Amino acid sequence: MLGIFILHATHLFDQDSNWHLVNADQSVLVLILRGIINMWAIPTFFVLSGAGAWFGLKRRSGGQFLVERVRRLLVPMYTIGVFLIALPMIYFQAFTDGFRGGFWEAVGQSLGAVRFSLRWPGLSTFFVGHLWFLQFLFLVSVVVLPLLIVLRGESGQRFIGSVAGWCSRRGGVFLAILPIAIVRIALKGLFVGEYTWAYFVFAVVLFLIGYMLVADDRFKESILRNRWIGLILGIIGFSVQGFFILGQDYQMFHEAFSPELVLYEIGMSIGIWGWIVFLMGTANRHWNKPGKLLSYANEAVMPFYLLHQLVILGIGWFVIQLDMHLVWKLIIVTVSSFAVIMLMYETLIRRFNIIRFFFGMRPRK
């Protein structure tokens, strides 16, 4: 979650003009930092969500799991998310695109442009800011639930055991690159755009991988053994991405099927899984120490996720107008946004069960 926070806090300054707000001065170094985080941040979320589903189905039936997904994902998205978070971000985006009318005029124009189509997961083009992730995660959970239940059965356990056996060999954990690469190569050229069925199927693959990883300890052992190889592969994959995007002006969301797409997606698949292996192995080795801080942070993840981008944009709205160096602006946005989010969480959300419900949290006991 901190990675996602940094990803969006730096987005104001990264030479990408296609965001809700942009600073006049941009930095290629910030672009590189964002590129590294962007390669693993959201994919890791899907892997961890799959792992969470394994533990969730230990104590819930399939129906109970779906009810929990509705409470955890859809309730915050279609209450707090749509009415308090999405609408201001729509205006920020309109302002950046040159719109100078009123707030509700901008919102009306944006919502009027929403289209319903079978080409998009969720059957619409309504993807506002970071809320798309909640929609995707819910749809992934629904689609794969029958398979998740099968994998918990006897035949499913045998299959997972067989895969764990392959992965326990030297470098075997990197076999996960194959399904990731196959899906990305096969579908990215067919579904052009950022939040298409290609990314949805990619998310399904990551979710299923995460679900299996925690079902057999041999996966964890292999990740621990290969985490430094994962770092090397992550750097290689990021270098391939940088070569194509910075060196060849590759348009990663708008390329038709071609040899360049194949090479780019192979590099991306290697990089994505390499970073995930490195980060999960490092976390298991050094950060897996239960305590009050970890419990507090874990409970705060959903409210933090919901609030973070809006707070960053709200503070960034004023900071990008200041006459100071980019580095100072970045520090101000990052530090003040984190402080405001945590203050809102501690004083307005965490202590009140009715508010916790709308943020997808369990009630306090």
* pLDDT score at 255: 67
Q: Which amino acid is at 336?
A: S
Confirm if 332 and 319 have CB atoms less than 8 A apart. Answer: yes
The pLDDT of residue 123 is 58
Determine the Cα–Cα distance for residues 79 and 154; give it in Å rounded to an integer. 40
State the chain's mean pLDDT as an integer.
Answer: 88
Q: Which residue has the tokens 């290689």?
A: 236
Question: Would you state the pLDDT for residue 210?
Answer: 96
- Structure tokens given for 191: 């579904």
Mean pLDDT confidence for 147-152: 94
Kindly report, residue by residue over 247-267, the tens digit of the pLDDT.
Answer: 777 777 666 778 888 999 999
pLDDT confidence of residue 26: 85
Give the range among 54-68, 79-93, 163-177, 324-338 with minimum mean pLDDT: 79-93
- Gap between the Cα atoms of 146 and 243, Å rounded: 41
DSSP 191: S
Q: What's this model's pTM, rounded to 2 decimal places?
A: 0.90
- Residue 124: phi and psi, rounded to 5, are -150, 165
Distance between CA atoms of residues 44 and 31, nearest Å: 20
Which pair of structure tokens corresponds to residue 92?
Answer: 């920020």
pLDDT(121) > 80: no
User: 262, exposed or middle or buried, with CB in 10 Å at 0-12, 13-18, 19+?
Assistant: middle
At residue 226, does pLDDT exceed 90? Answer: yes
If one counts every other C-beta atom within 10 angstroms of the C-beta of residue 284, the result is 14
120 vs 234, higher pLDDT: 234
- Does the pLDDT at position 27 exceed 80? yes
Residue 185 has pLDDT above 80, yes or no: yes
